[in-house]
Amino acid sequence: MFRRLISRENDAARVMDKSILQQLGIPPDSPVKLWADAQSWIVRPVRSLSKERQETFERALREANEEWGEMLQRLAER
């Protein structure tokens, strides 16, 4: 699929096709993360973690810090 950028004031813009948004599971007006990698644009939806996933992550982080925190601190100081 080839598309052109359009001029918009002092910027260039690209309107995302509805089919692409649907494939990515991005509703209109959703926040996206956009960055460039070499000669490509990478677009990813910004998704918040569910409360359960956030709690699981925080618990795992606490456990890792309890078990490995001192060693990781020493490595960081090298």
Q: For residue range 14-67, what is the model confidence (pLDDT) as tens digits?
A: 888 888 888 888 888 888 888 998 889 888 888 777 889 889 999 999 999 999
φ/ψ bin of 52: left (φ > 0), alpha (ψ from -120 to 50), beta (otherwise) = alpha
Please state, in angstroms and rounded to a whole number, the distance separating the CA atoms of residues 66 and 78.
20
In angstroms, the CA 5 to CA 29 distance is 19
pLDDT number for residue 48: 78
DSSP at 17? P
Q: Could you give the CA distance from residue 11 to residue 67 in angstroms, rounded to a whole number?
A: 50
Predicted local distance difference test score (pLDDT) of residue 44 = 84
